[in-house]
Amino acid sequence: MSGNGKRGDILVIGGGISGITAAIEAAEAGANVTLVEKEPFLGGRVARMNLYFPKMCPPSCGIEINIRRVKTNPQIRTLTLATVEKISGGPGAYKATIRKDPRYVNAKCTTCGECVEFCDVERPDSFNLGMGTTKAIYMPYEMAYPARYVIDPAVGDPKETCAKAAEACPYGAIDLAMEAEIEEAEFDAVIWATGWAPPDATQFEGLGFGDYANVVNNVTMERLSALNGPTAGKIQRPSDCEAPRSIAFVQCAGSRDENYFKHCSGVCCMASLKQARYVRDQNPEAQIYIFYIDIRAPGRLEDFFTAVKEDEKLSLIKGKVANITEDSATGKLTVEAEDILSGQRVAQEVDMVVLATGMIPQGIGDTKVEGGVELDEHGFLAINQPQGYLAAGCAKRPVDVATCNRDATGVALKALHLGAE
């Protein structure tokens, strides 16, 4: 008999899909895990996605199971609105300083929502990437975990924005005197699961992002397609809320590009093929154009590409988009590219453009790391770290959700080693 020893304490930084998976898998294997997430809820980027490719299934389905695993496992401690300020040490003996920002709402919150009408200050809805607003006291989204309201101090001192709400709460759940707490803790292993963010696409010359209302990026497109998004799932042009009759997907927007980001994010092709399906499901007549360099649909994902190619109203144009212009009267856009198979210049007018922007790694954020971490030229954490740190998912390389889950599961085992006795 073996394997009965202590499994150690693990710190997981980042509560997106990689962090959640690493935390759960390690805890179910016997470790004690502290899961630190900067937002007020777990789920990160995947919680904001509409559907996963290739099964076209909702992320909430997997998240629901994972959250059940988190909340019934006493070996997982979840800290939201928390960041790691400082970390030092090495395998078996890390010391972390964790900052927990005030939520202003305590565990007595029942999510009844009575407080909301007593607050008249609004904030941009960060769950919906700034599209729409919520009150200063809000539930991030209906399936959020922890299932608890939160007050956003960025739109005003909670003592002012939510004083009436605090009085109105029947359960004494609103605590406006709450302050940031600092916690020092020791861990045997640390997993960076800090994930990714989309690039600021306004920097991509010629693509019109930020200038033309109807040029959006792919993460916005997820929210525009989601039933719990700002348009209740209706894909529409931001300029006039009309459903687009034609749409162009611009692949490698800022990616595989010497001027911006050299790496390929590996998932944007599949994301656009999936989003083309969203469009098709809503409008059987819509014309869809995908401008690409290479369509990257590895493994069985190829089947999805094969199926999408059957769509007669979908055109694939091999060529990198050079320029997008807008007809300011109609909001229509002209996408210019060279079709390198025919050698012809293409200028395609469409109602809406989705820029398939890539994944920019978030590295170690603002955390001060004694001894530092090693990043590659793209900003991803190197596989072998001088201080023995582990990285999981998109902190390490740009990958899809399935690969994040695989990777995070494997990394969980590496973390167990560091705490095994």
Partner 1 sequence: MEKKLAVYLCRGCDIGGALDMSALKDVATDEYKIELCHEHDCLCGDEGRELIAKDVNDGVNSVVVAACSPRFMTDVFTFDNVLTTRVNLREQVVWSHEANDEDTDMMAQDYLRMGIVRGQQAELPEPLEEEVDRTVMVVGGGATGLTAALDAAAAGNDVVIIEKEAQLGGWMSKWAKGIPHEAPYTAPQALDIVDQVAAVEANDKITVHTGAVIEKVAGMPGQFDVTLKGNGSEPFRVGSIVQATGWKPYDANKLGHLGYGISADVVTNVQMEEMLAAGKVIRPSDGKAPERIAFIQCAGSRDQDHLPYCSGVCCRVSIKQALMVREMSPETEAYVLYKDIRSPGQYESCYQKAQEDTGIFFTKAEVTGVTNGGGSLKVAAEDTLLGENVQLEADLVVLATGMVPRSADGELIRQYVDAKAVVAKGEEGAQLENAKVQVEELAYLEDAEILNLTYRQGPDLPTFKYDFPDSHFICFPYESRRTGIYPAGCVRAPLDGQAAKEDGSGAALKAVQALEVTAKGQAVHPRWGDMSFPDFALQRCTQCKRCTEECPFGTINEDEKGTPQPNLTRCRRCGICMGACPERIISFKDYSPGIIGNMIKAVEVPDEYDEKPRLLGLLCENDAYPALDAAGLKRIQHSKWIRFVPVRCLGSVNTVWIADALSSGFDGVLLIGCKSGDDYQCHFIKGSELMETRSGNVQEKLKQLALEEERVQIVQLPLNEFEKLPEIVNEFSDEIEDIGLNPFKGF
Smallest distance from partner 1 to CB 361, Å: 10
Residue indicated by tokens 């989309």: 198
Q: Which residues contact 249 (CB under 8 A, 6 or more apart)?
A: 272, 275, 276, 288, 289, 290, 291, 353, 354, 356
Residue indicated by tokens 């300083």: 97
Is the CB of 387 or the CB of 409 nearer to partner 1? 409
- Strand 314-318 relative to strand 9-13: parallel, antiparallel, unpaired? unpaired
Q: Which residues contact 330 (CB under 8 A, 6 or more apart)?
A: none
Smallest distance from partner 1 to CB 213, Å: 27
Smallest distance from partner 1 to CB 74, Å: 8
**H-helix or E-strand spanning residue 86:** strand 82-90
Say how far apart CA 209 and CA 290 lie, in whole Å. Answer: 17
Smallest distance from partner 1 to CB 158, Å: 22
Is the CB of 215 or the CB of 408 nearer to partner 1? 408
Q: What's the number of CA atoms in the CB half-sphere (13 Å) around residue 383?
A: 3
Is the CB of 197 or the CB of 383 nearer to partner 1? 383
Is the CB of 28 or the CB of 85 nearer to partner 1? 28
Is the CB of 51 or the CB of 324 nearer to partner 1? 51
Is the CB of 92 or the CB of 153 nearer to partner 1? 92
Is the CB of 5 or the CB of 365 nearer to partner 1? 5
Report whether 408 contacts 394 (CB < 8 A). no
Q: Which two tokens stand for residue 139?
A: 């539930």
Is the CB of 61 or the CB of 180 nearer to partner 1? 61
Is the CB of 113 or the CB of 372 nearer to partner 1? 113
Instruction: Pinpoint the alpha helices (H) of 96-217.
Output: 158-161, 163-168
Q: Which two tokens stand for residue 250?
A: 């611009």
Closest CA to 289 of 268, 318, 325: 318
Type of residue found at 117: E
The four Cα atoms 282, 286, 290, 295 give a dihedral, to 10 degrees, of 50
Tell me the sheet residues that pair with 10. Answer: 33, 189
Q: From residue 379, give the alpha-carbon distance in Å to each of 14, 146, 298, 346, 364.
A: 16, 31, 24, 35, 10
Residue indicated by tokens 């799932």: 233
Smallest distance from partner 1 to CB 97, Å: 27
Closest CA to 168 of 143, 137, 125, 124: 137
Smallest distance from partner 1 to CB 265, Å: 7
